[in-house]
Amino acid sequence: MPGTVLRHAFHVPAPPPAVLAHLSEPSNYVGLSPLVVAVQDVRREPGRMRFVAVERFRFFGLVKYDNLIEVTLRATEEGIEGEVDSPGGVRLGYRFGLTADGMGTEVEDVLTVHARLGPVLRYAARKARQVQVARADILVSRAPTLM
Protein backbone atom coordinates (compact mmCIF):
# COMPACT_ATOMS: atom_id res chain seq x y z
CA MET A 1 0.00 0.00 0.00
CA PRO A 2 1.52 3.38 -0.96
CA GLY A 3 2.54 5.63 1.90
CA THR A 4 4.39 8.70 3.01
CA VAL A 5 6.24 9.70 6.20
CA LEU A 6 5.77 13.11 7.82
CA ARG A 7 8.14 14.40 10.53
CA HIS A 8 7.93 17.45 12.74
CA ALA A 9 10.10 18.27 15.76
CA PHE A 10 9.30 20.96 18.31
CA HIS A 11 10.00 22.03 21.89
CA VAL A 12 7.40 21.92 24.68
CA PRO A 13 8.24 23.89 27.84
CA ALA A 14 7.15 21.07 30.16
CA PRO A 15 9.07 18.02 31.48
CA PRO A 16 8.84 14.70 29.57
CA PRO A 17 6.78 12.91 32.27
CA ALA A 18 4.13 15.66 32.09
CA VAL A 19 4.01 15.56 28.28
CA LEU A 20 3.87 11.75 28.35
CA ALA A 21 1.00 11.79 30.85
CA HIS A 22 -0.91 14.28 28.71
CA LEU A 23 -0.42 12.31 25.49
CA SER A 24 -1.34 9.06 27.28
CA GLU A 25 -4.89 10.19 28.04
CA PRO A 26 -7.37 9.78 25.14
CA SER A 27 -9.61 12.66 26.26
CA ASN A 28 -6.69 15.07 25.77
CA TYR A 29 -6.77 14.44 22.02
CA VAL A 30 -9.96 16.49 21.71
CA GLY A 31 -8.67 19.75 20.30
CA LEU A 32 -5.07 18.52 20.22
CA SER A 33 -5.91 17.69 16.65
CA PRO A 34 -8.00 20.54 15.24
CA LEU A 35 -10.16 17.87 13.57
CA VAL A 36 -10.92 15.79 16.69
CA VAL A 37 -14.12 16.99 18.36
CA ALA A 38 -14.86 13.97 20.59
CA VAL A 39 -13.41 10.76 21.96
CA GLN A 40 -15.67 7.84 22.79
CA ASP A 41 -15.63 4.13 23.58
CA VAL A 42 -12.30 4.21 25.47
CA ARG A 43 -11.09 0.68 26.17
CA ARG A 44 -8.13 0.32 28.51
CA GLU A 45 -6.27 -2.94 27.89
CA PRO A 46 -2.94 -4.22 29.22
CA GLY A 47 -0.21 -2.22 27.51
CA ARG A 48 -2.51 -0.13 25.31
CA MET A 49 -5.69 1.85 24.98
CA ARG A 50 -8.18 1.80 22.16
CA PHE A 51 -10.76 4.45 21.46
CA VAL A 52 -12.85 6.04 18.76
CA ALA A 53 -12.01 9.61 17.84
CA VAL A 54 -14.53 11.72 15.97
CA GLU A 55 -12.86 13.82 13.28
CA ARG A 56 -15.06 16.60 11.93
CA PHE A 57 -14.48 17.63 8.34
CA ARG A 58 -16.19 20.49 6.53
CA PHE A 59 -16.36 20.43 2.77
CA PHE A 60 -16.98 23.65 0.86
CA GLY A 61 -17.69 25.31 4.19
CA LEU A 62 -21.17 23.82 4.27
CA VAL A 63 -21.14 20.04 4.36
CA LYS A 64 -20.18 18.52 7.73
CA TYR A 65 -18.86 14.98 7.91
CA ASP A 66 -17.94 13.17 11.14
CA ASN A 67 -15.29 10.55 10.44
CA LEU A 68 -15.07 7.88 13.16
CA ILE A 69 -11.52 6.60 13.45
CA GLU A 70 -10.27 3.67 15.52
CA VAL A 71 -7.18 4.65 17.50
CA THR A 72 -4.71 2.44 19.35
CA LEU A 73 -2.38 4.20 21.79
CA ARG A 74 0.63 2.71 23.61
CA ALA A 75 2.93 4.47 26.06
CA THR A 76 6.58 3.43 25.74
CA GLU A 77 9.77 4.47 27.52
CA GLU A 78 10.50 6.84 24.63
CA GLY A 79 7.02 8.33 24.24
CA ILE A 80 3.71 7.39 22.64
CA GLU A 81 3.00 5.29 19.57
CA GLY A 82 0.02 3.76 17.88
CA GLU A 83 -2.13 3.27 14.86
CA VAL A 84 -5.21 4.85 13.34
CA ASP A 85 -7.67 2.98 11.14
CA SER A 86 -9.90 5.32 9.20
CA PRO A 87 -12.79 4.60 6.84
CA GLY A 88 -11.87 4.93 3.20
CA GLY A 89 -8.81 2.71 3.51
CA VAL A 90 -6.55 5.25 5.21
CA ARG A 91 -4.12 3.82 7.77
CA LEU A 92 -1.82 5.90 9.90
CA GLY A 93 1.01 4.97 12.23
CA TYR A 94 2.19 7.60 14.68
CA ARG A 95 4.95 8.11 17.19
CA PHE A 96 5.63 10.96 19.59
CA GLY A 97 9.26 10.59 20.64
CA LEU A 98 9.95 12.52 23.86
CA THR A 99 13.43 13.62 24.90
CA ALA A 100 14.42 15.85 27.83
CA ASP A 101 15.68 19.16 26.46
CA GLY A 102 16.86 21.70 29.00
CA MET A 103 13.79 22.86 30.89
CA GLY A 104 11.34 21.01 28.67
CA THR A 105 10.78 18.29 26.12
CA GLU A 106 11.83 17.86 22.52
CA VAL A 107 8.96 16.14 20.71
CA GLU A 108 9.53 14.28 17.46
CA ASP A 109 6.12 13.74 15.85
CA VAL A 110 6.34 11.08 13.10
CA LEU A 111 3.31 10.07 11.04
CA THR A 112 3.25 7.32 8.43
CA VAL A 113 0.19 7.63 6.20
CA HIS A 114 -0.99 4.81 3.92
CA ALA A 115 -3.86 4.62 1.42
CA ARG A 116 -4.53 2.42 -1.58
CA LEU A 117 -5.47 5.23 -3.95
CA GLY A 118 -3.08 8.06 -4.80
CA PRO A 119 -5.66 10.87 -4.56
CA VAL A 120 -6.81 9.58 -1.15
CA LEU A 121 -3.20 9.33 0.04
CA ARG A 122 -2.43 12.88 -1.09
CA TYR A 123 -5.54 14.26 0.62
CA ALA A 124 -4.91 12.29 3.83
CA ALA A 125 -1.21 13.27 3.91
CA ARG A 126 -2.05 16.95 3.36
CA LYS A 127 -4.62 16.91 6.20
CA ALA A 128 -2.24 14.92 8.46
CA ARG A 129 0.52 17.48 7.89
CA GLN A 130 -1.82 20.37 8.73
CA VAL A 131 -2.84 18.60 11.94
CA GLN A 132 0.77 17.74 12.78
CA VAL A 133 1.90 21.38 12.56
CA ALA A 134 -1.15 22.66 14.44
CA ARG A 135 -0.70 19.99 17.14
CA ALA A 136 2.75 21.36 17.95
CA ASP A 137 1.35 24.84 18.60
CA ILE A 138 -1.58 23.47 20.60
CA LEU A 139 0.63 21.25 22.77
CA VAL A 140 2.99 24.17 23.44
CA SER A 141 0.01 26.35 24.42
CA ARG A 142 -1.15 23.62 26.85
CA ALA A 143 2.31 23.37 28.50
CA PRO A 144 1.48 25.62 31.51
CA THR A 145 -1.36 23.27 32.47
CA LEU A 146 0.83 20.16 32.19
CA MET A 147 3.13 20.95 35.10
Q: What is the pLDDT of residues 19-61, one digit of tens each?
A: 999 999 999 999 999 999 999 999 999 999 999 999 998 888 8
In sequence order, the β-bridge partners of residue 67 are 55
pTM > 0.95? no
Phi, psi at 2, each rounded to 5°: -60, 150
Would you state the pLDDT for residue 26?
96
The fraction of the chain above a pLDDT of 70, given in percent, is: 100
